[in-house]
Amino acid sequence: MPNDYFQFKQFTVYQQHCAMKVSTDACLLGALVNDNITAAHILDIGTGTGLLSLMMAQKFPSAIIEAVEIEQNAFQQAQENFSNSIWKDRLKVHLSSIQNFAKNNSAQKYDLIISNPPFFENDLLSPDKKTNIAKHSTDLTLKELLACAFELLNDNGFIYLLLPFRRMDELKQHGVSIIHLQDNPQSGIKRSVFMLQKNNFQKLIEEKFVLKNEQDNYSNAFLQLMQPFYLNL
């Protein structure tokens, strides 16, 4: 059973009221965002616990970060985690669907949008409503997510998404950089981090990021990437 909280070096994420718990893949998504992006305004879609917003607050010390969450319990959890952080003055969460948020906040544009969206479309639903919202796209399809994100982005803004590898074909048309997450050198690819830039269509770029080496220890690349965040690294 997952812990009620996850302690990072500079913040704590409580998660007992969220269907989507802190995961290694979600942490990798936040850590893999390019530090060299100029990001004054950041939007986190479907924030859940608020993990990615907190990682962005640490990574971009001057940025204003807004988050959107549709599920009431997760919204309150993110609010609590933001209030308890040292960056509470730069963090705000909205209780809303991204569709309504985009409609009502179209004047505000963002330099970076990040999301760990619902993974599953047309899959067997869970009997738990909170789990369905977090993991299934009955309330938010990938097509809707991208439409809202592109509407809210600055002209050269960036989108970072964590999605199953099998959904790569749905994003190729936009021009995308992909980092495939591989558990070890022999394993298959299940998850990928996708990066798109508005108004900058580029040739498909793919690379791999291996979490563990052949001895089942974390790779040097993983340790270096996560060192600013993980408590015991």
* pLDDT number for residue 72: 94
For range 161-183, the mean pLDDT: 84
Residue with tokens 């998404």: 161
pLDDT band at 2 (very low <50, low <70, confident <90, very high): low
Separation CA 62–CA 119 (nearest Å) = 31
CA angle 162, 76, 108 (to 5 degrees): 60
The domains found in the chain, sorted by start residue, are 5-226 (3.40.50.150)
pLDDT of residue 126 exceeding 60, the answer is no
In this structure, are residues 47 and 23 in contact, taking their beta carbons and an 8 Å threshold? no
* pLDDT number for residue 140: 81
For range 123-146, the mean pLDDT: 58
In this structure, are residues 135 and 19 in contact, taking their beta carbons and an 8 Å threshold? yes
pLDDT of residue 216 exceeding 80, the answer is yes
pLDDT of residue 158 exceeding 90, the answer is yes
* pLDDT number for residue 139: 67
Classify residue 64 as exposed, middle or buried by CB count within 10 Å of its CB (0-12, 13-18, 19+): middle
- Which tens digit of pLDDT belongs to each residue from 81-117? 999 999 999 999 999 999 999 999 878 899 999 999 8
pLDDT band at 167 (very low <50, low <70, confident <90, very high): confident
**Which is more confidently placed, 135 or 203?**
203
Separation CA 165–CA 163 (nearest Å) = 6
